[in-house]
Structure 1
Amino acid sequence: MTLTIETLQPRLVALFQSVIVRQQLSQGYLFSGDAGTGKTELATWIALRLFCSHVVNGQPDGTCSECQRILSGNHPDVVKVAPEGQSLKIEQIRFLKQELTKSGMETNQRVFIIQDADKMTVSAANGLLKFLEEPAPQTYLILTTTNKNQILPTIISRLQIIEFARLPRPQLIAQLTTAGISTADAAVLARLTNSLPTAQEWLASDWFDPLRQKVWQWFSHIQDNNPSAFVDVQANIVPVAKERSIQNEALALILLMLQDVLELHFGRGDSLSFPAQQAQLTKWAENATSQQLLTQMEATLAAQKYLTANVSFQNTLERLTLQLL
């Protein structure tokens, strides 16, 4: 199931419907939010709404020739730019700058969408400033990002920022299970990502399931006060979590396991990340005090900060192991 932008972000769609009707659309926007929250989809919806030949009740019909060309990437007045590799290159921004100086080829309006704008190089970002300082009439620039803190303040100051809310967890789980992901997998993935494509990519990867199993084994040893947890770090978890992004997910999994134990300790458990392991989690919850669990939670949150501060993953996890045992 692929959710439409009207279902994913109904409040924002209603907002932009009203803004466009009142002809108050700003010339520069920054759409900020987690992956999977519909940023690019809403940017595309705005382009569809502006160019559609048969708008019905404030909605583009999606079937007219204008809409079809936008959806297929063939409309000359709707330009999308996405990173090539790890960054948006200066050549891509040069192309944009050339296009931004032109009038609409078929109409008097143009829409430019820059995906993952936080991946712009400094020179590429600076290349946008002239347009943002003196935008051409009826030319609209929409940037999307999952990390607005990585965008130059000089650019942010010239854009209207729109924050995208995460999809409610029950709705996301329904989306994941409808796409063929098991209920158990969906329960944990819905805590880690808001994106169906990302969830599917992780499940198909060679690291996600092994990491989940190795972290569970380590966590079991921690809860049972078993010193084998120290062996788990170097022998099992570190070899799987070689990249920083995977290391972040390892700590996120630990935090989710602790949250499950804490919920069960306080008599809840209707929204577990690991529902298939509820019996074992309940046993640990019954054998721990509230203070012990809160201390473990604080130590894990601190470990996330250490990793962010570039402390090595192995040192971070070994330190956490020592604190939790």
Structure 2
Amino acid sequence: MTIESLQPRLVELFKSVIARQQLSQGYLFSGAAGTGKIELATWIALRLFCSHVVDGMPDGTCSECQRILSGNHPDVVKVVPEGQSLKIEQIRFLKQELTKSGMETNQRVFIIQDADKMTVSAANGLLKFLEEPSPQTYLILTTTAKNQLLPTIISRLQVIEFARLPRPQLLAQLTAAGINSGDAALLARLTNSLPTAQAWLASDWFDPLRQKTWQWFSHIQENNSLAFVDVQANLVPLAKERTIQNEVLALILLMMQDVLALHFGRGEALSFPSQQAQLATWAENATSDQLLQQMEATLAAQKYLTANVSFQNTLESLTLRLLK
């Protein structure tokens, strides 16, 4: 999907800004994965360097565009974290490059992906540039976690918020990529990114985790203490990384939302449409108060995990609260 279809409003905004020569020298693109942040940053670079701009749009085929798209343009620098943070070597390279003039033109574009992964020292290293930017040098940071960036960085950037794709549009994108409707219904709740959805489906953890979480949830709804065994024997071994642990709680919350929706007669957009019959049975056998208490307990569990309570303790505490 092109950036024009992902974020048409923002493309039109930057077409106008660039045409009026009012492009700011520092931007922060903030939003969920899959909303087109890197794509728009790349589009801006294409627009600035393209030798065949038509109606404010880069052609994408000229030599300048092709070099940018292949990562070989010396005046368009992309920095992507290696692992969990930007490495010292990457920051040194970036600082050196920020002091240089354009190699082929009088303008340069720097794109820093997942800027929230910068260390404090790395972020402070950017402040000098942001306070005294070089002429016609543009810095674009992208993030899915704006609150993890230093306020001093954010205050010196123009923040652009990226809206999530509407659910119908995302579902169409997922199914067009060959993902079956049942998987698409769930993945559209968990991520806004087609590449992420495809990667999860191809992984060795997503489907087992979905199955074992459903098993745990079934035991909870049946008031079966085997749910405790599920935590220790299945969920904890499968979810060793914090990102996967977060997805366990997201799955649980979506299951509860489906039960609650069916309880109130709203089953049009379930996350687990293939299990609707079983979900409906659970919805009939629970009171509104019980279901709302389950939701509150799960939301509290998400806060505990965010506060660095261990995953096993969080799940065992949640299990204890949910068993009647």
TM-score (norm 1): 0.96
Q: Deviations over 1:186-224 (max 9, x none)?
A: 111111111112112211222111111111111111112
Q: Which moved more, 1:310-319 or 1:257-266?
A: 310-319
Aligned to 1:181: 179
Q: How does 1:108-187 map to 2 (within 5 A)?
A: 108-187=106-185
- What letter is aligned with 2:145? N
CA distance in structure 2 between the partners assigned to 1:146 and 1:216 by the alignment: 28
Q: CA deviation at 1:85?
A: 2.4
Q: CA deviation at 1:70?
A: 0.8
Contact 1:88–1:120 (CA under 8 A) maintained in structure 2: yes
- What letter is aligned with 1:59? M
- What letter is aligned with 1:318? E
CA distance in structure 1 between the partners assigned to 2:317 and 2:112 by the alignment: 41
Aligned to 2:316: 318
* Pairing partner for 1:31 from 29, 32, 35: 29
CA distance in structure 2 between the partners assigned to 1:226 and 1:106 by the alignment: 69
Is residue 310 of structure 2 the alignment partner of residue 283 of structure 1? no
Q: How does 1:83-98 map to 2 (within 5 A)?
A: 83-98=81-96
SS at match of 2:138: strand
- What letter is aligned with 2:18? I
Contact 1:90–1:121 (CA under 8 A) maintained in structure 2: no
* Pairing partner for 2:243 from 228, 242, 245: 245
Aligned to 1:11: 9
* Percentage of matched positions with identical amino acids: 88
- What letter is aligned with 1:78? V
Contact 1:94–1:127 (CA under 8 A) maintained in structure 2: no
- What letter is aligned with 1:192? L
SS at match of 1:104: coil
Q: Which segments of 5 or more consecutive residues in structure 1 lack a partner in the other structure? A: none
- What letter is aligned with 1:112? F
Aligned to 2:291: 293
Q: CA deviation at 1:156?
A: 1.2
- What letter is aligned with 2:5? T
Q: CA deviation at 1:52?
A: 1.1
Q: Deviations over 1:52-108 (max 9, x none)?
A: 111112111111111111111111111111112221123222222222222222221
SS at match of 1:68: helix
CA distance in structure 2 between the partners assigned to 1:206 and 1:232 by the alignment: 19
CA distance in structure 2 between the partners assigned to 1:294 and 1:236 by the alignment: 26
Q: Which moved more, 1:24-33 or 1:166-175?
A: 166-175
CA distance in structure 1 between the partners assigned to 2:56 and 2:300 by the alignment: 48
Q: Deviations over 1:215-236 (max 9, x none)?
A: 1111111112222222221122
- What letter is aligned with 1:32? S
- What letter is aligned with 1:61? D
- What letter is aligned with 1:182? N
Aligned to 2:75: 77
SS at match of 1:242: coil
Aligned to 2:66: 68
Contact 1:90–1:123 (CA under 8 A) maintained in structure 2: no
CA distance in structure 1 between the partners assigned to 2:119 and 2:223 by the alignment: 48
SS at match of 2:309: coil
> After the TM superposition, which segments of 4 or more aligned residues of structure 1 sit over 6 Å from their partners?
none
SS at match of 2:236: helix
CA distance in structure 1 between the partners assigned to 2:137 and 2:218 by the alignment: 57
Q: Which segments of 5 or more consecutive residues in structure 2 lack a partner in the other structure? A: none
Aligned to 1:260: 258
TM-score (norm 2): 0.97
Number of aligned residue pairs: 323
CA distance in structure 2 between the partners assigned to 1:322 and 1:123 by the alignment: 43
SS at match of 1:141: strand
